[in-house]
Structure 1
């Protein structure tokens, strides 16, 4: 299970982890299994863990006063799941993070993650790489949401994340894109013509 994480870190670092560093990673990251719909984090709790997904699919979402879910992030294998605002600010989360499929994770406490960043150059490089990619992705999503039509948003999403379309149902994709499932259904029908 840890092999995926070690390979992920080594692919994003200028120098690979040493055997001693690999041992520290294995000690810090604990295996965790979640059944479908089981929570990694519930709204109102402080995010204490960061999860690296080895197998499965997850989602991060809020629920409004009418009970409508608003998907903020979708996660698959080799993605990281955490409410960063809650973890950094030590405030109750506005979000739920749950498994959409049966999921296998490697979880680490936020404190241990920060310790690994300080102790291991490769882990720090991987974290900076993740932060940069996350910022770029968030910026693109924001720009797409305020600038593009629903059709264009779906087109870009399908081009960049075809695996999500295969793993998540239409209502989850629609929520992530900020459109209704009826609008998404219409867009998909038009695309097939």
Structure 2
């Protein structure tokens, strides 16, 4: 169950077997049903979750009430609302399970305890947050400076095989376009 988590963190830091056991101890295994809400706008986010299996949509509702998907989290990705978690404010994001999913969840207080007792874990999350900031910057630049065709190709590259697991509406929401426009793009973009 935690092999995927070990593989994920090993990209950033090395933990002995004993340290890894200490690291995973506060994580709680949770299953989510398809369409189950993990975090609802207005609630405070008190966790970070590592996706073992399944798919999640992290999104918000814009001023017109339309969904705007920030990202999808699949196997090996993390889910949270970092603003709500760090600043203890109500979330503006929603996190929904798009499939039956399994997650290792860690509470904020348990993560803080790991920081105090295992300094290398603070380094791990610092590196992960830096990589997340880079990904967010690239996403903003893509949304503001690239055509929908190019954003679609980037989506296919970033999430290989995921398009078959999503509805056309979900992909369009991620791209910031209508599903009708996505249909036109699919017809003209060579794959």
- Fold in common (TM above 0.5): yes
Match of 2:82 among 78, 84, 109: 84
Question: Matched residues in 1 for 2:153 and 2:24: separation?
Answer: 40
In the alignment, the residues of structure 2 paired with residue 160 and residue 37 of structure 1 have an alpha-carbon distance, to the nearest angstrom, of: 23
Give the Cα separation in 2 of the matches to 1:107 and 1:159: 28
Q: Matched residues in 2 for 1:157 and 1:103: separation?
A: 21
Q: Superposition pairs for residues 22-171 of structure 1, below 5 Å?
A: 22-64=20-62, 66-171=64-169
2:6 alignment counterpart? 6
Deviations 1:120-154 (A, max 9, x none): 24423321221121111111111111111111111
**Root-mean-square deviation over aligned CA pairs:** 1.7
Write the deviation string for residues 37-72 of structure 1: whole angstroms up to 9, x where unpaired: 111111111000110000000011112454421111
Structure-2 change in CA distance of 1:49 and 1:10 (3 Å): same
Q: Secondary structure at the match of 2:10?
A: helix
Measure the CA separation in 1 of the matches of 2:40 and 2:188. 37
- Structure 1's unaligned 5+ residue stretches are none
Offset, 1:192: 4.5
- Worse overlay, 133-142 or 58-67: 58-67
Residue by residue over 1:70-114, the C-alpha shift from the partner in whole angstroms, topping out at 9 and shown as x without a partner, is 111210001000000000110111111010010000000012112
Give the secondary structure class of the aligned counterpart of 2:104: strand
Q: How many residues align?
A: 191
Structure 2 stretches of 5 or more lacking a match? none
TM-score under structure 1 length normalisation = 0.91
Shift in CA distance, 163/120, structure 1 to aligned 2, threshold 3 Å: farther
1: CA distance, partners of 2:24 / 2:131: 25
Which stretches of structure 1, 4 residues or longer, exceed 6 Å deviation after superposition? none
Q: Secondary structure in 2 aligned to 1:37? A: coil
Aligned partners of 1:188, 1:103: CA distance in 2, in Å? Answer: 28
1:174 to 172, 175, 178: 172
State the TM-score, normalizing by the size of structure 2: 0.92
